[in-house]
Structure 1
Amino acid sequence: MPISTTGSFDRRRFLTVSASAALAATALPACASSVKDDSSGGSGGGKTTLTVMTVDNEWDKKALKAAEQALGMTLNIIIADPTKLNAMLAAKNPPDVVRGFGATETPYFAARGLMTDLDPYFAKSEVLKPADLDPVNDVWRYDGQNQGAGPRFGMAKDYSQDSMFWYRTDLFDAAKLDHPGTEPLSHDEWLDLGKRLVKRRLGKVKVYGLNATGMGVFPQLMGMTASAGGSVFAEDLATVDFSSPEALKALKWYLEYAQADIGPNVVNPNPDAWDGPTYQANRMAMSTNGYWFGGLIGGDPKLAKVSRFAPAPQLGSERISPCFGATGFWIPRDAKNKDAAWKFFEWYFGGKPAQERAASGWGIPSLKSLHSRMPQTNAFQKQAFELQQRELDSFKVLNFTPYAQQAALEGVITKVLPGAVRSKTSAGKVADELNTRMNEQLAKGKELVK
């Protein structure tokens, strides 16, 4: 069955939609009551109808029909919308399967009792065997206190280590700069390269030297802080502390990056809205997007010839290369067709669709047995594959708070940082403002979790 190769667009579109409804999500009920595991179908004994909330280009009409034939059921598609999802969850009439970000959403929904524990299904499956699950799937686990432990509540369709970056060798050569190697740069070295590679005309940026925040500012600050040996969140995940030495170091770095105006930032966002068109047009030297971005690059032989992949830069001594997405699906606790939903899981994550996604180059497969299917035909693909395989050992689950969604915390950043960048406010004062505003959000969210 043909599968859409626009996974990157899906991910970015879903992120944008989530941001537009950041505060609505805090209205979820504290806990969903248990329901009978009625997985008989919901269509009066006839053909099962499975309601799937996903992005609008998950399947075209032909692919959707083929999916229904393969599954032997009707797929009722609801376009992903956080406000609609929250309303359906509150009414205890949710979709059977929901698309989301495991890395940043699992604690939020699991802490509210809204997700189905999938361990019993994994234990019985002949298709999705726990021993074959890539470690990234641990972001879909939550034990009530820590992410990465406890029951599995979902699974990634594919993933990237999102602090890695792509670079254009032609722009490096024109600037007479050495190419990044297989060992990670320090963030200071990375920033220096960005400053050397930026090109301006009449005071405006013509070619970005670096985009340092492909998946958002907050996740990158999380990753940088972890690399420095700390955490943005307190141990109980109920507060943030950007005044800690490690988080403050990360914040200082981002403020310097934004003030240097060498790449898209909170003051001057990219008019293209994302890196793809800019990088393709030879107007961005380094793009912080993980392995999935290679699917775009690989579609243009000329672009692939001058593009290479590099490890995640490090702010400190902790070698960490995190994932901030792990986009996949989960089954709500109140879903009416759980067995049918699991059949969808086995087909989507372990069947032909998963095999085709693996071969497309638009993400790392979330089953270890499918890694060998990643494209390795030409020099561009081989370099990216070999570099990515080395990077896998540096993956680590970073705890995300259960008390707020990423979009809400990102919203605080977009309110506080632009003015701070323009006025060159000290990092210490910016940290205090972020702490105050974010901790207010987190306190409200904590009240809803019992």
Structure 2
Amino acid sequence: METEFVFQPANQFCQPAWYGKERNQMNITLTTCGRLSRRGFLQLAGASTAGVLLTACAATTPGEPAPVPDSAEAGAPATADITIEYMMNDAELTGAEIEQFQEANPGILINRIEPDATSYFARLAAGTPPDIFRLQAPQFPQLLAQRIPLNLQPYIDVSDVIKVDDLAPANNYYRSSGGPLDIGDGDVYGMVKDWSPDLTIWANLDVIEEAGLPVPSFTEPMTYEEVRGYAEQIAQFEGDRVVMRGFDINAPWIERIWMVWLEGLESSLFSDDFTQMNLVENELAQEAVEYHYQLAADKLSSSPISPSPSWPGQDFANGDLGLVQYGFWFSGGVLIWADEELQPKIDEGRIVMLPSPTWKGVKRGPTITATGSIVTGATQHPDEAYRVFEWYNAREPAANRAASGWGVPALKSMYDSIPKEGTYRSQVWGVLEQEMNFADTTVRFNPYLQGGEPGVVAGLFIQFYEQALRGETTFDEMLQRIESETNLAIQDGIDRIG
């Protein structure tokens, strides 16, 4: 039977089956993830590539962009209204913001549509793609290999609000000096809407102290082994039932965490050219996988054998989880999701953000999501699409997001708007300010694998480690199956991209 992977737009939090049904993430109503087999995804992606490549040379690099006036000075064009379709969540692009843009830019309408990668590829294949697409960093290399994004550098070169020197380091995920293996600098193809150092730890100090543990340092990082030690002491059980969980992560991001760890040790999950997975014979990679496997085996983290009643963020907000690994963005979320008991603890400074831990002595704290957007190269209206893109990422909506505390702004000039006042916000800011010194890293994602949430490797781990946890296969057999299936997916990607 062909392996199935969930392919879902970035940051839609397409969660594993063992996460419960009561999931309200960022005020977004979650639905069951659409499922595509590896072959189905690649057939769809391949079809879209064929359609896009017919016009790639003309569409993905504009020659002389039309002037993009300040939105406040834009006059009514002589032609009929142009509608720009923007794939973005409603909580991230509000009706009020759309109305503000349309009033300031007569002749250009915005039609917000829900992010849906399956729909995006289908519409690419049909020649009617959305103009702007929401994605995360792991998705970009394959899209660039397929020549799908529009090169925005000619527009940015003449922009009065987006300057390359002002781009936060997270935007490097959407820059390339050549192709999908040259990501990190060069021309700009997209931007983050905001970002977070994603490997910080959120801690409930009451839970920690009730377990007889010292409050962790706000300035010195723990090791991941120390995090596990805290989880062991925090966890409480009644028979087989978990009453208090010790530590949890967002499972669909798990391969990204391993990649951060391994790159810090000058290793990787893949060969240098990304054409092979390197897991079975890679001791460092095996140790990374085993860390999270053992957390699940010991029921310190949620898994198929110890399901979450909700999802890790909500478990923490309900006071049922001592430590959770999320980035700065969670500082806004927990204010909304906290139950009545936890809410006053936030104000009292009992809910804190801790520095990202060290793995084998190496401290790294990059963003592994870098949620942002690209303009589709096949858009029929590149100038208008860029105007919307620039407005969203550098004008009013960007300023609104900067002040909300849901993420670090995409532009360094907006950093001063990050909330810092009060007991809660001042503590979070103190840690964030330190973490930003470790956030310049651009993780290298495999351009031959789709980078959804979860990606191929995380999807395989989620599938096969359930069998290992239940004793139906061994840990080593699980590693072999992950490597074998990943290599098949890589070869399929190579064949499709060419």
Q: CA deviation at 1:291?
A: 0.3
Q: Name whichever of 61-70 and 131-140 sits farther off.
A: 61-70
2:467 equivalent to 1:439 = no
Of the structure 1 ranges 415-424 and 276-285, higher mean CA displacement relative to structure 2 is found in: 415-424
SS at match of 1:268: coil
SS of the residue 1:200 aligns to: strand
Question: Kindly, what percent of the aligned residue pairs are identical?
Answer: 24
Q: What is the rounded CA distance, in whole Å, between the counterparts of 1:195 and 1:149 in structure 2?
A: 42
Moved more, 69-78 or 242-251: 69-78
* TM-score (normalised: structure 1): 0.90
Does the aligned pair in 2 maintain the 1:292–1:363 contact within 8 Å? Answer: yes
Aligned to 1:91: 126
Change (3 A) 1:217 1:333: same
Within 5 Å, give how 1:40-439 maps onto structure 2: 45-72=79-106, 73-101=108-136, 103-142=137-176, 143-144=178-179, 145-181=181-217, 182-213=219-250, 216-243=253-280, 244-272=282-310, 274-299=311-336, 301-304=343-346, 305=348, 306-395=350-439, 396-406=441-451, 407-423=455-471, 427-439=475-487
Amino acid aligned to 2:186? G
**Does the Cα contact within 8 Å between 2:251 and 2:458 map onto a contact in 1?**
no
- CA displacement, residues 93-146 of structure 1 (integer Å, 9 cap, x when unaligned): 211111111x21110100011111111111111101100000110011233223
Aligned residue for 2:464, secondary structure, equals helix
Distance change >3 Å, CA 265–CA 433, structure 1 → 2: same
Displacement, 1:214? 5.7
Q: What is the DSSP-based 3-state SS (H/G/I as helix, E as strand, rest coil) of the residue aligned with 1:149?
A: coil
Determine the C-alpha separation between the residues in 2 that align with 1:369 and 1:208: 40
User: How far 1:60 sits from its partner (Å)?
Assistant: 4.6
Give the aligned residue type for 2:295: Y
The answer to whether the 8 A contact 1:96-1:341 is kept is: yes
Counterpart-to-counterpart distance in 1, 2:127 and 2:399: 34
Query: Structure 2: which amino acid aligns with 1:86?
Result: F
Structure 2: distance between partners of 1:255 and 1:345: 41
- Identify unmatched segments of 5+ residues in structure 2: 1-10, 14-23, 69-76
Against the structure 1 CA distance between its residues 135 and 318, is the aligned structure 2 distance closer, same or farther, given a 3 Å change threshold? same
| Superposition RMSD in Å | 2.7
Q: 1:53 to 1:445 in 2, by over 3 A?
A: same
Find the residue that maps to 2:248 and give its secondary structure.
coil
Q: Is 1:448 aligned with 2:493?
A: no
- Structure 1 window deviating more from structure 2 (68-77 vs 204-213): it is 68-77
- 1:9-41 Cα deviation digits (max 9, x unpaired): 667969987773464442223452334559889
Mapped to 1, the partners of 2:31 and 2:42 lie a distance apart of 17
Give, in whole Å, the separation in 1 of the partners of 2:495 and 2:192: 29
What's the secondary structure of 2:353's corresponding residue? strand
Gap change, CA 1:7 and 1:69, over 3 Å in 2: farther
Partners of 2:393 and 2:229 in 1: how far apart?
41
The residue number in structure 1 matching 2:8 is: none
CA distance in 2, matches of 1:307, 1:371: 23
Separation in 2, partners of 1:446, 1:137: 26
Structure 2 CA distance, aligned partners of 1:180 and 1:58? Answer: 33
Gaps of 5+ in 1: 1-5
- Tell me the alpha carbon deviations over residues 358-412 of structure 1, each in whole angstroms, 9 at most, x when there is no partner: 1111111111111111001112111111211111121211110111113333221
Please state how far the C-alpha of 1:351 moved relative to its aligned partner: 1.0
Cα distance in 1 for partners of 2:156, 2:129 equals 22
Q: Distance in 2 between matches of 1:18 and 1:237?
A: 28
Which residue in 2 is equivalent to 1:20?
A: 35
Alpha-carbon distance between aligned partners in 1 of 2:405 and 2:126, rounded to the nearest angstrom: 39
Secondary structure, counterpart of 2:185 in structure 1: strand
Q: Distance in 2 between matches of 1:234 and 1:88?
A: 33
